[in-house]
């Protein structure tokens, strides 16, 4: 039965391409890729000779129609992005929606994802977290986006690019405060994989002092906001009094 396969590809280490991903990419009639030249390198490494189409943010709607046509013709199609899991801060949402709407199966072939890879080794709480993707590029919008999550109790996860890392860490110090715990995971699964951890101010200082820490690909994770009676200035005096009575009755 024909289907659209959503195939995760490595985020650095080619050995992370699963056997099931190789088999799927080899057997479909067509691979839809974010950047054909980029994906071609991966495909030729694994001797996969399937034809590749470009499907990116600018032509996704048009290509979605063409891909539905291919499925109607009885062919299966695979979607890959440049790295990691498609649709996670990558194109594909419109395509998946359209293929489902046309009544065809969409089958995920799971594998690497920078967010999960970073989180599972960071040492921050993982029972609940919020994935924020990329912060806005402009200073004011970035500030506003951070303000929206300032009081969020769950661990915050962001993607970031090297040329904005300093500005983002500085904005985090300003909005989230310098003392909160954070981890920056860089170059995951690659030769220079690094985890920097400490307070936001400490990580900023380390990144400022070492240019190498400003290069490559990075995931930023920040501990969620924790409410304590003492440091929450949103609580008025009456609120603090009620909270203290409640806490005493619990102990």
83: contact with ligand SAM by CB under 6 A: yes
7: contact with ligand SAM by CB under 6 A: no
The residues near 224 (Cβ < 8 Å, ≥ 6 apart) are 125, 128, 152, 153, 154, 155, 156
Which one of 52-60, 124-132, 156-164, 168-176 is the stretch in contact with ligand SAM (CB under 6 A)? 156-164
Encoded one letter per residue, x for contact with ligand SAM by CB under 6 A and - for no contact, window 230-249 reads --------------------
218: contact with ligand SAM by CB under 6 A: yes
Minimal CA–CA distance to 84: which of 110, 62, 49, 113? 113
159: contact with ligand SAM by CB under 6 A: yes
| Beta-strand relationship, 105-109 and 3-7 | parallel
Torsion over CA: 54, 88, 136, 180 (sign): negative
189: contact with ligand SAM by CB under 6 A: yes
Residue with tokens 């890392």: 165
CB nearer ligand SAM, residue 68 or residue 83: 83
Residues in binding contact with ligand SAM, number by CB under 6 A: 24
Which one of 16-24, 76-84, 139-147, 205-213 is the stretch in contact with ligand SAM (CB under 6 A)? 76-84
CB nearer ligand SAM, residue 68 or residue 118: 118
92: contact with ligand SAM by CB under 6 A: no
Of the candidate residues 54, 88, 130, 175, the single one contacting ligand SAM (CB under 6 A): 88
The neighbour count for residue 247, using CB atoms within 10 Å, is 10
89: contact with ligand SAM by CB under 6 A: yes
CB nearer ligand SAM, residue 52 or residue 135: 135
The edge-to-edge listing of strands for the beta sheet with 105-109 is 52-54, 30-33, 77-80, 3-7, 105-109
11: contact with ligand SAM by CB under 6 A: yes
Shortest-Cβ-distance residue relative to ligand SAM:
84
Give the whole-angstrom CA distance, residue 206 versus residue 227: 28
3-state secondary structure at position 116? helix
Rounded to whole angstroms, what are the CA distances from 45 to 38, 82, 191?
A: 12, 15, 19
Give the whole-angstrom CA distance, residue 151 versus residue 35: 38
As measured in angstroms, the least distance from the Cβ of 111 to ligand SAM is 9
Encoded one letter per residue, x for contact with ligand SAM by CB under 6 A and - for no contact, window 12-41 reads x-----------------------------
85: contact with ligand SAM by CB under 6 A: yes
The edge-to-edge listing of strands for the beta sheet with 181-186 is 129-134, 155-160, 218-222, 181-186, 194-199
Site residues, ligand SAM (CB under 6 A):
11-12, 81, 83-85, 88-90, 113-115, 159-161, 185-190, 217-219
């Amino acid at each position: 039965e024909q289907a659209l396969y959503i195939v995760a590809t490595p985020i650095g280490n080619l050995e992370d391409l699963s056997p099931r991903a190789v088999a799927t990419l080899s057997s479909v009639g067509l691979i839809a890729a974010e950047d054909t030249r980029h994906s071609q390198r991966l495909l030729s490494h694994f001797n996969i000779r399937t034809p590749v189409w470009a499907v990116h943010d600018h032509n996704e709607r048009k290509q979605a129609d063409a891909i539905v046509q291919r499925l109607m013709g009885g062919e299966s199609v695979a979607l890959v992005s440049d790295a990691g899991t498609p649709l996670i801060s990558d194109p594909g949402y419109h395509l998946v929606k359209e293929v489902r709407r046309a009544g065809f199966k969409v089958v995920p072939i799971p594998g690497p994802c920078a967010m999960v890879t970073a989180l599972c080794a960071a040492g921050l709480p993982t029972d609940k977290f919020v994935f924020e993707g990329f912060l806005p590029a402009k200073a004011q919008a970035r500030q506003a986006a951070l303000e929206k999550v300032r009081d969020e109790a769950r661990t915050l996860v962001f993607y970031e690019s090297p040329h904005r890392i300093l500005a983002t860490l500085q904005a985090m110090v300003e909005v989230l405060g310098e003392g909160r715990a954070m981890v920056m995971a860089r170059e995951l699964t690659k030769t220079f994989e690094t985890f920097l951890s400490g307070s936001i101010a400490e990580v900023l200082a380390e990144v400022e002092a070492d240019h190498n820490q400003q290069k490559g690909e990075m995931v930023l994770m920040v501990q969620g906001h924790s409410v304590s009676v003492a440091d929450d200035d949103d609580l008025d005096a009456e609120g603090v009094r009620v909270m203290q009575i409640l806490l005493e009755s619990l102990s």
